[in-house]
């Protein structure tokens, strides 16, 4: 596909220093000027000042200037050098298409897991028990954006920018991809535009658990939901909450769509699209506790 990666997100928060410290502890490397980096994707998160928490910008990588021109033609916007900038009309989020090289992730040796009649690991303990040090995310996987107009926001990213549809939640959401990952953006129907969460790839389910447990060791209040396995995307997950109120997810084992013709989008109803197993999601996951305050802030601005 012409689009090949979710390069970065910029989130606005009232408490920049506190939120930045959280993401450093989460495993991202501080780069200065509000930027934080993953191991494989480089600078992928920027935290900036804003009166209320919000998603300000998404940067999406494309292969060449022809890709920019095609999107510009669909949106009726000019290309400026190596970038095309557009604003999603329902949320105000700035979307930037930029000519960038593709992320090259060196393959990680598969974690050996034993099973019935299958012994991938003998004579040693599970490697997840032996790992030391902080979990460091490999790359930014996706962001989830609440919107007051699901149809408009979905059409902007899909028909305008060129995202592909992976799955849908009936009357409530659209899983969209700009890479071979099952989704890089989930658009959710909401009473106010807001950033629901960002999601960060780690090596395997052991690192999902290790990362979350380390974050919770001295801050149990950060826990939101997990451990579990999603149905849409199939990935393992664990959600935490940053000091501004945004959720952050460690994930592993996401569905991969290499050939669009071999993937058939489905429309899910109820909890099936949300998770396959794990504890039920708390009410605050489906409707964050600060939504009323965000609505008031959005109205005032």
Query: Tens digit of pLDDT for each residue in 2-14?
Result: 899 999 999 999 9
Q: Give me the pLDDT at residue 273, please.
A: 76
Residue 301 has pLDDT above 70, yes or no: no
CA distances from 174 to 121, 123, 187, 283, 299 (A): 40, 46, 5, 20, 26
User: Among 80-89, 175-184, 286-295, which stretch is predicted with the lowest mean pLDDT?
Assistant: 286-295
Separation of alpha carbons 102 and 82, rounded Å: 15
Separation of alpha carbons 112 and 127, rounded Å: 8
CA distances from 185 to 10, 108, 180, 236, 277 (A): 14, 25, 12, 17, 22
What residue spans define the domains of the chain? Answer: 3-101+136-300
- 236-255 pLDDT tens trace: 999 999 999 999 999 999 99
Q: Give me the pLDDT at residue 274, please.
A: 87
- 194-219 pLDDT tens trace: 999 999 999 999 999 999 999 999 99
Spatial contact of 146 and 188, defined as CB atoms under 8 Å apart: yes
Q: Give me the pLDDT at residue 107, please.
A: 87
Residue 270 has pLDDT above 80, yes or no: no
Q: Which residue has the tokens 């099952």?
A: 182
Spatial contact of 164 and 244, defined as CB atoms under 8 Å apart: no
Residue 78 has pLDDT above 90, yes or no: yes
**pTM across the whole model:** 0.96
User: Among 44-58, 81-95, 265-279, which stretch is predicted with the lowest mean pLDDT?
Assistant: 265-279
- 151-200 pLDDT tens trace: 999 999 999 999 999 999 999 999 999 999 999 999 999 999 999 999 99
Average pLDDT over the chain reads 95
Q: How confident is the model at residue 300 (pLDDT cuts 50, 70, 90)?
A: very low
CATH homologous superfamily, domain 3-101+136-300: 2,3-Dihydroxybiphenyl 1,2-Dioxygenase, domain 1 (3.10.180.10)
């Amino acid at each position: 596909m012409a689009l090949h990666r979710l390069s970065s997100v910029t989130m606005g928060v009232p408490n920049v220093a506190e939120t930045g410290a959280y993401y450093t502890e989460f495993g991202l490397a501080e780069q200065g000027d509000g930027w934080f980096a993953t191991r494989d994707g480089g600078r992928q998160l920027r935290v900036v000042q804003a009166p209320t928490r919000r998603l300000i910008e998404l940067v999406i990588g494309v292969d060449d200037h022809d890709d920019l021109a095609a999107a510009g033609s669909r949106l009726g916007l000019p290309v400026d050098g190596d970038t095309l900038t557009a604003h999603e009309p329902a949320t105000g989020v700035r979307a930037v298409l930029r000519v960038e090289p593709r992320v090259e992730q060196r393959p990680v040796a598969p974690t050996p897991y034993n099973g019935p009649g299958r012994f991938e690991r003998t004579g040693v303990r599970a490697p997840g028990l032996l790992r030391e040090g902080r979990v460091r995310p490999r790359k930014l996987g996706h962001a989830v954006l609440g919107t007051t107009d699901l149809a408009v926001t979905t059409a902007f990213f899909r028909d305008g920018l060129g995202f592909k549809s992976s799955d849908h939640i009936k009357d409530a959401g659209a899983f969209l991809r700009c890479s071979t990952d099952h989704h890089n953006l989930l658009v959710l129907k909401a009473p106010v535009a807001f950033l629901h969460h960002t999601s960060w790839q780690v090596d395997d389910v052991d690192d999902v658990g290790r990362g979350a447990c380390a974050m919770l060791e001295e801050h149990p209040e950060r826990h939101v939901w997990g451990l579990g396995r999603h149905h849409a995307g199939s990935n393992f997950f664990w959600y935490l909450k940053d000091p501004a109120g945004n959720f952050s997810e460690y994930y592993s084992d996401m569905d991969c769509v290499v050939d669009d013709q071999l993937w058939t989008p489905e429309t899910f109803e109820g909890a099936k699209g949300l998770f396959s197993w794990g504890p039920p999601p708390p009410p605050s996951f489906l409707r964050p506790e600060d939504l009323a305050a965000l609505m008031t802030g959005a109205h005032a601005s």
